[in-house]
Amino acid sequence: MYIKSTKLRSIAVLLIFCAPSLNAMTKEELSDLDSVNAQYSAEKDQLKEWYEQLERNAQRVGYNHAFSQTMNEHEQHLKSRSQEYDSLLTFNDVTSLVKTGVAAGMYLIGGIVDKIDASTETISENVILTHDKAFRIVKYPYLSASKPNWRDYLFFEQKIDLAPPPQSLLPRNEKEQQIWKENVDKGWLRGESAAYREILSRWQTLFADLNGMTRYWTAVETNQIKDVTLSVKTQPLEYAKYENEEELRLNPTVIQINSQATFNSNILDWNVTATEPNSNARSDVRDDVIQGNLNIEEITDAQVIIETSEFTDMRNNIDNKNVYK
């Protein structure tokens, strides 16, 4: 009997320690404790969860609609100046059109070369490496049936959920309406900011690629980069049979890059037929775009952005007599 009661006490102690901890109630709370108050407490917790859900939905709706509207407004601005941008943001001078042979009409899209300004690097306690500038091929040339276009960079195609929340998730009274409005405003500000960051990033990528392609063709003209060579293979015909049909292709031609572009490390082979102007690129507006130092209003002023003296001179110095042009 003693053993049994001891076990029961042990179990009771264990249950006490395993039970969830509760906050002590005041004397007044204990005095007023009844089934109605307990129900009120549960309803209060449910109401808190409902308010939090209301806030999340309001912020999500505000964010999505602000992002979409801001992007649409920017695209409308781009469309209104499309002819101007077609002239200023052209890839004609940095894209090579194959004019002869079976590859005629294909575009050789120039590689992208990044320029790294002067830097100092500590190799070890005894060695420090410095250089005036460095160039890096970050994207190699490729063949395409069409040339790049500024629209590919600046127009937004991602789908945003603009459907309103279900009726059951909308505010039900004046207090909830105020909560909803405040959080729509918060989401709207976040959505606008995100859209501006996206727009800025797209402009940065566009100008960085234009810069990089211009550097590539400049390096090709100065023989600092050995350009690609093309390989063309043509067969009289090609026959294929499928489960429910068959196909006969006449004169199928495979056009591919046979050897990719590479830096020419023999400085004696270099020439100066297309030298870059002696200017500080970091002071140019165009580089401010790439570094993110311009706001959206300044970015959309294409005359300021693209027609800088350095870019114009560097582009005009490209010979355009490349074997594939």
Lowest pLDDT segment from 52-66, 138-152, 263-277: 263-277
In a domain, 192, yes or no: yes
- Residue 312 lies inside a defined structural domain of this protein: yes
Instruction: Output the CA angle 171-175-181, nearest 5 degrees.
Output: 65
> What is the model's pLDDT at position 273?
56
Distance CA 286, CA 208 (A): 9
Indicate the DSSP class of residue 122.
Answer: E
Report pLDDT digits (tens) over 104-128. 667 778 888 888 776 777 777 777 8
**The model's pTM:** 0.64
Q: What is the 3-state secondary structure (H, E, C) of 193-218?
A: HHHHHHHHHHHHHHHHHHHHHHHHHH
pLDDT surpasses 90 at 190: yes
Min mean pLDDT across 6-10, 101-105, 225-229 is at 6-10
pLDDT at residue number 143? 84
Mean predicted confidence (pLDDT) in 232-244: 80
Is 55 part of a structural domain of the chain? yes
SS3 96: strand
- For residues 45 and 88, the model is more confident at 88
Average pLDDT over residues 289-315: 49
Coil vs helix vs strand at 109:
strand
- Average pLDDT over the chain, rounded to an integer: 74
CA distances from 71 to 81, 157, 198, 225, 273 (A): 16, 10, 9, 39, 43
User: Could you tell me if 140 and 111 are in contact, meaning their C-beta atoms sit under 8 angstroms apart?
Assistant: yes
Tens of pLDDT, residues 167-179: 877 888 888 889 8
pLDDT score of 12 more than 60: no
Residues 16-55: pLDDT tens digits? 444 445 566 676 766 665 554 555 555 666 778 888 888 8
* Domains contained in the chain, number: 1
For residue 238, tell me if it sits in a domain. yes
**SS3 per-residue string spanning 123-141:** CCCCCEEEECCEEEEEECC
Does residue 107 lie within any of the structural domains? yes
Return the higher-pLDDT residue of 184 and 156: 184
CB contact at 8 A, 251 and 235: yes
Task: Give a yes or no: residue 2 inside a domain.
Answer: no
Residue 3 pLDDT exceeds 60: no
Q: DSSP of 224-272, one letter per residue?
A: SEEPPEEEEEE-SEEEEE-SS-EEEEES-EEEEEEE--EE---GGG---
pLDDT digits (tens, 9 = 90+) for 56-70: 989 998 999 999 999
254 contacts 134 by C-beta, under 8 angstroms: no
Residue 250: pLDDT band (50, 70, 90) is confident
Residue 66 located in a structural domain: yes
Residue 13 resides in a domain: no
Is residue 248 packed enough to be buried (19+ CB in 10 Å), middle (13-18) or exposed (0-12)? exposed
* Packing angle of the helix pair 174-221, 35-80 (nearest 10 deg): 40
Tokens at 308, concatenated: 């800088």
CA distance linking residue 232 with residue 270, whole number of Å: 29
- Domain interval for residue 271: 40-316
